[in-house]
């Protein structure tokens, strides 16, 4: 089962990160967490790798609905969005919210996942259309 939604926008890593932030904000998501994996692995392990940023995105009304349906779903929150490079290509990946339904088995999660998917898809589409 695929668990991601991926786009490969044109532009630099830095410009794409800013475009992702804007696109998520436009869809009602706030960034709760930010993990610079490249910097962390360099600092902790002296390991060099390509730019790799994990953004923890949250839409509060959707998070509330998900938690009302299943308190344990917090294990799957926030929605992670990754911005990374592969050679000269910038890649943006978002978790597929339908994964929450599949993993929890809670049918009441389906409408929340559908709305989260709609919003994440819109954000990713704006990047693919040159928003980066």
pLDDT one-digit tens code per residue, 65-89: 999 999 999 999 999 999 999 999 9
Over its C-alpha atoms, the chain yields an Rg (Å, rounded) of: 15
127 touches 9 (CB < 8 A): yes
Q: What is the pTM (predicted TM-score) of this model? A: 0.93
Ranking 2-6, 8-12, 117-121 by mean pLDDT, the lowest is 2-6
pLDDT one-digit tens code per residue, 87-96: 999 999 999 9
- Determine the pLDDT at residue 130: 66
Cβ partners under 8 Å of residue 118, min gap 6? none
Please state the domain extents for the chain.
Answer: 4-127
Reply yes or no on whether the pLDDT at 132 is more than 70.
no
pLDDT one-digit tens code per residue, 24-66: 999 999 999 999 999 999 999 999 999 999 999 999 999 999 9
- Determine the pLDDT at residue 128: 82
Class of domain 4-127: alpha beta
Of the chain, the end-to-end C-alpha distance in Å amounts to 28
83 touches 92 (CB < 8 A): yes
71 touches 110 (CB < 8 A): no
46 touches 69 (CB < 8 A): no
- Determine the pLDDT at residue 127: 96
- Determine the pLDDT at residue 91: 98
Average pLDDT, integer, range 8-13: 96
DSSP letter at 28 equals T
CB atoms within 10 A of CB 61: 11
């Amino acid at each position: 089962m695929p668990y991601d939604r991926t786009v490969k926008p044109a532009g630099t890593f830095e410009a794409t990160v800013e475009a992702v932030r804007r696109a998520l904000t436009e869809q009602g998501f706030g960034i709760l967490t930010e993990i610079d994996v490249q910097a962390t692995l360099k600092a902790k392990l002296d390991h060099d790798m390509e730019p790799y940023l994990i953004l923890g995105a949250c839409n509060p009304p959707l998070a509330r609905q998900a938690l009302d349906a299943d308190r344990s779903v917090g294990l799957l929150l926030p929605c992670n969005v990754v911005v990374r490079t592969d050679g000269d290509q910038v890649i943006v990946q978002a978790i597929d919210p339908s994964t929450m339904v599949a993993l929890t088995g809670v049918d009441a999660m389906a409408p929340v996942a559908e709305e989260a998917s709609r919003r994440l898809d819109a954000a990713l589409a704006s990047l693919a259309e040159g928003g980066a």
